[in-house]
Chains A and B, each alone.
Chain A
Amino acid sequence: MDFDLSEEQRLLQDSLAKLLADKYGFEQRKAYLKSKAGWSTEVWGQFAELGLLGLPFAEDEGGFGGGAVETMLVAEQLGRAIALEPWLTTVVIGGSFLRNGASAELRGELVPKIAAGELKLAFAQVERQSRYDLFDVLTSARKDGSGYVLNGRKGYVVHGDSAEKLIVTARTAGGQRDLKGIGVFLVDANAPGVQRRGYRTVDGQRAAEIELSDVRAEAVLGNPENGLPLVDQVVDEAIAALAGEAVGAMQVAHDMTVDYMKTRQQFGRPIGSFQALQHRAADMLVALEQARSMSLFAAMAVAERDPAERRKSMAAVKVQIGRSARFVGQQSIQLHGGIAMTIEYACGHYFKRLTVNDAMFGDADHYVRYLSDTGGLVQAA
Chain B
Amino acid sequence: MDLRFTEEEIAFRREVRDFIARELPAATRERMIAGKSPTKEMVVEWQRKLNARGWAAPEWPKEAGGPGWSLAQRYIFREELQQAPAPSPLGFNINMCGPVIIEFGTEAQKQRFLPRMLNLDDWWCQGFSEPGAGSDLASLKTRAVREGDHYVVNGQKTWTTLAQHADWIFLLVRTDPTAKKQEGISFLLVDMKTPGITVRPIITIEGGHEVNEVFFDDVKVPVENLVGEENRGWDCAKFLLGNERFGQARVGASRERIRRLKVIAQESMDGGRPLMEDPDFRRKVTEIEVELKALEMTVMRVIATETKRKDKKPDPATSVLKIKGTEIQQMCAELLMKAAGPYAWVDGDPEGEDDGNEVDVAPDWALGLAGIYFNWRKQSIYGGSNEIQRNIMAKAFLGL
Contacts and interface: CB of A to CB of B under 8 A. Distances in A.
B286 to A, nearest CB: 15
Interface in A115-161: 126, 128-133, 136, 155-156
A319 B183 CA distance: 52
B374 A202 contact: yes
B353 interface: no
Interface stretch (B13-21, B30-38, B47-55, B199-207): B199-207
B233 interface: no
A351 B374 contact: yes
A212 to B, nearest CB: 15
A211 to B, nearest CB: 10
B382 A338 contact: yes
Contacts of B132: 265
B395 to A, nearest CB: 13
Interface in B368-399: 370-371, 373-375, 377-378, 380-382, 385-387, 390-391
A155 B366 CA distance: 13
Contacts of B65: none
A131 B270 contact: yes
B223 interface: no
Nearest to B386: A334
Interface in A189-212: 197-204, 207, 209
B377 A129 contact: no
B272 interface: yes
A369 B204 contact: no
B377 A365 contact: no
Contact of B204 (A197, A342, A365): A342
Contact of B338 (A199, A337, A363): A363
Chain A interface main SS type: mixed
B163 to A, nearest CB: 15
A5 interface: no
A376 to B, nearest CB: 15
Interface stretch (B66-74, B82-90, B308-316, B355-363): B355-363
B377 A341 contact: yes
Interface string A205-228: 001010000000000000000000
Contacts of A132: 270, 341
Contacts of A363: 338
Given A133-B272, A277-B387, A343-B207, A338 B134 contact: yes
B172 to A, nearest CB: 16
A355 B390 CA distance: 27
A96 B133 CA distance: 52
B272 A177 contact: yes
Contact of A365 (B280, B343, B358): B280
Contacts of A348: 205, 374
B244 to A, nearest CB: 15
A267 B136 contact: yes
A309 interface: no
Contacts of B391: 276
Interface string A315-357: 0000000000000001001100110111110001101100110
B377 A334 contact: yes
A66 to B, nearest CB: 29
A204 B345 CA distance: 10
- Of all A-B residue pairs in the complex, the 4 with the closest CB atoms, nearest first, are A348-B205, A209-B361, A156-B342, A266-B136
17 contacts: A130-B269, A131-B268, A131-B341, A155-B361, A156-B345, A197-B358, A200-B347, A201-B345, A202-B370, A202-B371, A271-B135, A276-B387, A342-B202, A342-B205, A352-B370, A352-B374, A359-B338
Given A131-B268, A268-B139, A343-B207, 13 more contacts: A128-B363, A176-B272, A199-B358, A202-B370, A209-B361, A266-B134, A268-B136, A274-B387, A276-B391, A334-B381, A341-B204, A341-B378, A352-B205
